[in-house]
A and B are shown apart, each in its own frame.
Chain A
Amino acid sequence: MTAVDASRPVDFLSCGPEQALHIGDVRGTAAAASGTMHTGPWARGSDGGPCPGVLGVLADVVWGGAAVAGRPAGMWAVTTELSLSFGAPVATDGTRLLATGAVAHLSGDSSFATGTVRTEDGEITASGAVHTRFVAGDASAHVLPAGMHTDADAPGFAEWLGLEFAPDGLSATIPTGEAVSNPGGHLHGGVIFCISELAAAHAVSGLNPDLRSSSLHTVFLRRAELGGRVRCETDIVYRGRTTATATVCCLRPDGKPCAFSTATFGPVAPSNG
């Protein structure tokens, strides 16, 4: 049995994705962590609409921060799974989102934390869980200067990422430079989550534009080194009138899968804007 060390603060190592999405004020402990994201055009997806996938970056930072804070001394942690169920649409109007998370289970080699993301009005935009595994070592010094990767002119996160779709709509790629690094110097898990959501949403919207993402579950299989392009391959496994389901396999430049996601889609909610 492992007790949560509620005295260790959450580490906030702000990298490019956090800066691009205006994520900050991350604080707390494994027992209660919080952080904010200011919404704006950077929260838009490839179609110009709100992109729920960006919440994966916020959740990875805040919920994952709680999970990491519970690690044993001398260890670091890697995210192994991230799962979000989406509620109210993500605003892009400058309002603030508040993420809160707490460790729900902790053992000697792993933990998971659960959390929510709420609007200023208290409405739930997402709820879910993050799993981490403890590994030897510590975060390397990949913290980037504030503002280094914030591009006020980027019309949306998809464009900031440099996301490109294949003509068939089922494949998407991004370059993996320093801008999308996590504190360990690998491709940020929140970015993998987000591009998986964007890839699946693009594929599904080509078949039914009235559907939006209702949930995404990503399991991280291998770390992805920076350099080259990662590719998301989408497989639409079910398409109905009011729902759709897709799986997304995210492949490293060497062709090995680094993440596998399951995405679900439901009708656009008419009254929760």
Chain B
Amino acid sequence: MTALSPRAAVPFYVCGPERFLHIEAFQGTAQGASGTMRTGPWVCDGTGTPSPGTLGILADSLWNSAAITCRPGATWGVATELSLSFGARLPADGSLLTAHAAVTFHDERCAVAVGSITTADGRALVNGTTRTRFVPGIAEPDPVPLPADDPGAAGIVEWLGLAFSPDGRTAQMDATVSFANPARNVHGGVLFCASELTASRAVAANTNGLTVSSMTILYLRGVPIGERLAYAVEVVHRGRTSAAASVRCHRADGRTAALATVNFGPAAGEGRP
């Protein structure tokens, strides 16, 4: 394994998703990085329920920033998968969440980072893993122009502009510049979050006493800004106390951009600090 550079300071790119979710400055190196996110109504779905998928944006942003610091020269890093296990319920009370990340494996082609997100009182919200692949091209992206502030969005569903079909099995959204990552594609955390929201709607998680217990998303193709995205859910399993759904995110050309597996269990307690 290539030695990590002690000078590999984790970069922090403020794009639309980071700004909307009040994600704040990252610090540290690939061996140990941290960042924060302020909770609030912006993490809630259309029913006022906090969406665990929003944590995918924080995880994708910080954990991949840690992984990207390990890239060889003249390459950039693109996330290929993000896998999260969910613990305590996500608060929306204005408290501060803290995320940590560390790269556990890397070579000249890819890096794996693990991380966690905890509440202000130390309860585990998320643990997980991300995998980043290094691709030739840009070595350092130009800053993405931030879109005008959108203080009117009441929550994550409205901000995403996610429109669900009446049967809850499909959804659509426009990939605007608000959702761009530093490489000017749709932010991986946005695809994660929209997939979670769509799957939760399809299994009617809120009314069935279920909550997301884990989720894995595989990023298969980049999504340029300006595309219309379509999500389709297949409920793989539905039991009394668990459910599993597979979500495909299609680009405008019909190709699959991302494939997510969302698992549900009983709405759990608060967990240990």
Contact = CB atoms under 8 A, between A and B. Distances in A.
Nearest to B121: A1
A105 B261 contact: no
A4 interface: yes
Contacts of B128: 129
A131 B133 CA distance: 27
Interface stretch (A47-55, A81-89, A196-204): A81-89
Contacts of A271: 107-108
B194 to A, nearest CB: 18
Contacts of A270: 107
A1 B272 contact: yes
A260 interface: yes
B254 interface: no
Contact of A219 (B81, B110, B263): B263
Contacts of A88: 1, 105
A221 B127 contact: no
Given A83-B214, A243-B80, A104 B239 contact: no
Interface in A1-18: 1-4
B87 interface: yes
B85 interface: yes
Contact of B85 (A87, A114, A262): A114
Contacts of A124: 104-105, 112
Given A1-B269, A127-B104, A260-B236, A104 B220 contact: no
Contact of A81 (B80, B81, B213, B236): B213
Interface in A194-221: 214-215, 217, 219, 221
A267 B107 CA distance: 11
Contacts of A128: 83, 129
A262 B215 CA distance: 11
B271 A107 contact: yes
Contacts of B213: 80-81, 110, 112, 131
Interface in B215-242: 216, 218, 220, 236-237, 239, 241-242
A112 to B, nearest CB: 5
B129 A262 contact: no
B242 A80 contact: yes
A1 B216 CA distance: 26
Given A238-B259, A260-B261, A131 B85 contact: yes
Contacts of B270: 1, 107
Contacts of A114: 85, 114, 127
- Tell me if B's interface is mostly helix, strand, loop or mixed: strand
Contacts of A269: 107, 109-110
A270 B127 CA distance: 29
Contacts of B87: 104-105, 107, 112
Given A85-B83, A87-B112, A217-B83, A272 B107 contact: yes
Contact of A1 (B80, B109, B246, B273): B273
A214 B269 contact: no
Contacts of A272: 1, 105, 107
B131 A214 contact: yes
Interface residues of A, number: 49
A263 to B, nearest CB: 10
B176 interface: no
Contact of A110 (B112, B236, B259, B265): B265
Interface in A245-273: 245, 247, 257, 260, 262, 264, 266-267, 269-272
A116 interface: yes
Nearest to A266: B110
B271 A262 contact: no
Contact of A257 (B216, B237, B272): B237
A127 B273 CA distance: 23
A95 to B, nearest CB: 16
A122 to B, nearest CB: 9
Interface string B255-273: 0100101010110111111
The 6 closest A-B pairs by CB, nearest first: A105-B87, A87-B105, A107-B269, A107-B268, A129-B85, A85-B129
18 contacts: A2-B269, A4-B272, A80-B263, A87-B105, A104-B85, A104-B116, A105-B124, A106-B272, A110-B268, A128-B83, A129-B83, A131-B265, A214-B81, A217-B83, A221-B239, A262-B216, A264-B80, A264-B81
Interface of A: 1-4, 80-81, 83, 85, 87-88, 104-110, 112, 114, 116, 123-124, 127-129, 131, 133, 214-215, 217, 219, 221, 237-238, 240, 242-243, 245, 247, 257, 260, 262, 264, 266-267, 269-272
